[in-house]
Chain A
Amino acid sequence: MLTSGKTDGSSPGAQTLQPADYAIEVQLLSREMERDSQPLPVLRDVHFHVEEGEFVSIIGPSGCGKSTLLNIIAGLDSPTSGTVTLHGSQDRQRLGSVGYMQQKDLLMPWRSVMDNAILGLELQGVSRRDASDRARQHLGRFGLEGFENAYPHELSGGMRQRAAFLRTVLADQEVFLLDEPFGALDALNRTQIHQWVTGLWESMRKTIILVTHDVDEAILLSDRVYVMTARPGTMKMVQRVDLPRPRSMDVISTAEFMAMKSTLLTSIREEATEGSLP
C-alpha cells in the first residue's frame, strides 16, 4: 500500500492503487468518542477489505467497536480519521447504497409484512405493484407465504427476522452489513437459519459483512473471518475459510473446521482476558 488512508483520493492516480474488485476497503480508520468529557478511542487504525461477492465475518469481544465500525461503513457515522472506500470510490454517499440489518428486526408495526418488505423498493421509487410482484417471488423461500397481509405482532421471532431479511434482500443494495441479526433467535432457529442463509447467499453471491460473536456461525457462513481486539478495536488476525461450498451443517464436525475454530477461539480468548484488565 503506497498511500496512507488520510489522502482524500483527489489525486488522479489514487484509485488505480486499489484493486478494482474490492467492494469495501477500510484504511487506517480510527474513531474517537467522548465519555465524561474524556476522549475515548473506540476504533484504532482498522484496516481490512472485502472482495466483491465475498462473505466476511468480524468477531471480537463485546464493546470492541464492531457496531461503530458498521455504522461508519453504512454512512451513519463518520470516522475521526481514515477512509472507507465503496467500489473504488471514497467520495460516494454510502447511505442508500449499503444495506444494514441489525439485531432488532425494526419492522414497522403499522405496516403489513408485505409493506415492510417492500420499504426499500418504495424509497427507490419502484411502483407498489412492481415491488409487490418482486416480493411475492421470494415469500416462499423466506417462509412467509400466506403472511403477506399479517402484521409484525402476529409473527413469531423467527418469522419477523426473515421478514426483515426479505426487506434487506429486496432493497438489493451493493453491500449488506449484518449486525448480529441472528442473536435474538434460539439455538434451534439459528441452526435452521444458518443453513438457509448459506443457501441464499450461495445463490445470490452478494458482498456481506457479518458481525457476530458466534465462532461456529462465522466459520460456517464466511469466506474469511476477521478477529478484532478489545477496545480500541482493530483487526487482529484473519482466517481464510476454504471449506467447499455448498456447505451443510455436517462440516462442523470435520477436523478442518475444528482446527479453525480452535485458532479463532484462542485469539478471541486472549482479547477477552486483556479486555477485562483495568
Chain B
Amino acid sequence: MSAEVQQTRRAGHQDTGSLAGSMDRAIRQWLPSLLIVVAILVAWEMYVRVFDVQTWLLPAPSDIGTALYNDAGLLWRHTRVTLSEIIVGFGLALASGVLLATAIGLSRTLERAIYPFVIASQTIPIIVIAPMLLIWVGYGLAPKVIVVALISFFPIVVNMVDGLKSVDRDMVNLMRTLGANRLQVFFKVQVPTSLPYLFSGMRVAIAVSVIGAVIGEWVGSSEGLGYLMIRSKPQFLTERVFAAIAILSVMGVGLFASIGIIERFAIPWWRAARGQQTSEN
C-alpha cells in the first residue's frame, strides 16, 4: 500500500505549483488573445493613418490612448460610479437569485408558481422599463442598480435551479438509507452540487451586468461611463467614447476573472474533481 500512498501524495501536490510556474502558465494562457489585440490595434492604427480618417469619425488607437491619459481623472470618476452600480446591482441579483432558486428547489408548487414569472421577466425589454424606473424611483444610483439586478438575476436563478436538479440519484438514495430527511438531502447534497452551476450563472450575470449599467445610464443620469459616452458623442469627442468603451471592456474582463478567483477559493474541490473526471474518461 505504501507505493499507492506515495503516488497519491504526489498527485495531491501536483497542482500547488510555484509562483513562477503559475505566472508562466498565466502568460501562456493569455498570450494568444494578447497577440490578437495587438494585431487588431496595429491594423486599426495603420488604416486610420493611411486613409487619413477623421478622429471624430474613427479615432486611432493612439488617439484613444492619449484620451485615456489626458482625461484619466474624469474617466476614473465616472468609472467608479459605473463600477459601484454594477457591484451593488449584481450583489442584489445574487442575493435574490439564490433565495429564489432555493425556494424553487425546495418546493414543486413554488416552482410552478414562480418560474413562469422569472422567465417572463426576461422578455420585458429593459430599454422600455428603464425610463419608467426613473419616474418610479428617481435619478441617482437606484434605477441603474435595479436595471443591473433585473438583467443579471436571470442567469443566476436558472443556473442554480438547474444545479439543484442535477443531483446524483444514487447519492440521494445513499442519504436516504442513512436516514436523511428531505431538508438534509437538500442542504447536504443538492446545494453543494448546485454551486458550480451557480458560479457559471454568476459569470454570465457579471458580463451582462456591465451592459445593464450602461443602459441604465443612457436612459437618464448625470454620471457614469454610459453618461460620459452619451455626452461626448455630440461633442465629437469620439476618442473619449472609445476610451470609455475600452475601460468597460477591461472592467468586464476583470469582473469575470474575479468570479473565477472567488470560485477557486469557495469550491476548491470542483476544479480538481472535474480535472480528474476528464482525465479518467
Contact = CB atoms under 8 A, between A and B. Distances in A.
A63 interface: no
Interface string B1-35: 10011011001100000000000000000000000
A182 interface: no
Interface stretch (A5-13, A82-90, A94-102, A257-265): A94-102
B178 A156 contact: no
A156 B179 CA distance: 28
A115 to B, nearest CB: 10
A98 B179 CA distance: 9
A46 to B, nearest CB: 20
B8 A156 contact: yes
Nearest to A99: B177
Contact of A159 (B4, B173, B188): B4
Contacts of B132: none
A109 B273 contact: yes
Given A110-B192, A158-B4, A159-B8, A153 B272 contact: yes
Q: How large is the interface on B (under 10, 10 to 19, 20 to 34, 35 or more residues)?
A: 20 to 34
Query: Looking at chain B's contact residues, is the secondary structure mostly helix, strand, loop, or mixed?
Result: helix
Q: How large is the interface on A (under 10, 10 to 19, 20 to 34, 35 or more residues)?
A: 20 to 34
B177 A74 contact: yes
Contact of B168 (A96, A106, A147, A152): A106
Query: Looking at chain A's contact residues, is the secondary structure mostly helix, strand, loop, or mixed?
Result: loop
A215 B180 CA distance: 34
B171 interface: yes
B39 interface: no
A100 B174 CA distance: 7
Nearest to B175: A123
Contacts of B180: 123
A120 interface: yes
Contact of A156 (B7, B173, B267, B269): B7
B84 interface: no
A102 B188 CA distance: 19
B189 interface: yes
B177 A98 contact: yes
Contacts of B275: 153
Contacts of B195: 110
Nearest to A155: B8
B52 interface: no
B272 A96 contact: no
Nearest to A97: B179
A151 B273 contact: yes
Contacts of A146: 5
Given A95-B179, A124-B179, A154 B11 contact: yes
B174 A102 contact: yes
Interface string A152-178: 111110110000000000010000000
Given A106-B168, A108-B189, A108-B192, A151 B177 contact: no
Contact of A76 (B7, B177, B184, B272): B177
B16 to A, nearest CB: 12
A58 interface: no
20 contacts: A74-B173, A74-B177, A76-B173, A76-B177, A95-B179, A100-B174, A106-B168, A106-B171, A108-B188, A109-B273, A110-B195, A119-B178, A120-B178, A123-B178, A150-B12, A153-B269, A154-B12, A154-B272, A156-B4, A159-B8
Interface of A: 71, 74-76, 95-100, 102, 104, 106, 108-110, 119-120, 123-124, 143, 146-147, 150-156, 158-159, 171
Interface of B: 1, 4-5, 7-8, 11-12, 168, 170-171, 173-180, 184, 188-189, 192, 195, 267, 269-270, 272-273, 275-276
Given A75-B176, A108-B189, A123-B184, 19 more contacts: A71-B173, A74-B177, A75-B177, A76-B177, A95-B176, A95-B177, A95-B179, A96-B177, A102-B170, A102-B174, A106-B171, A109-B269, A123-B178, A123-B179, A151-B269, A153-B272, A156-B8, A159-B4, A159-B8
Closest 3 CB pairs of A and B: A96-B179, A109-B273, A154-B12
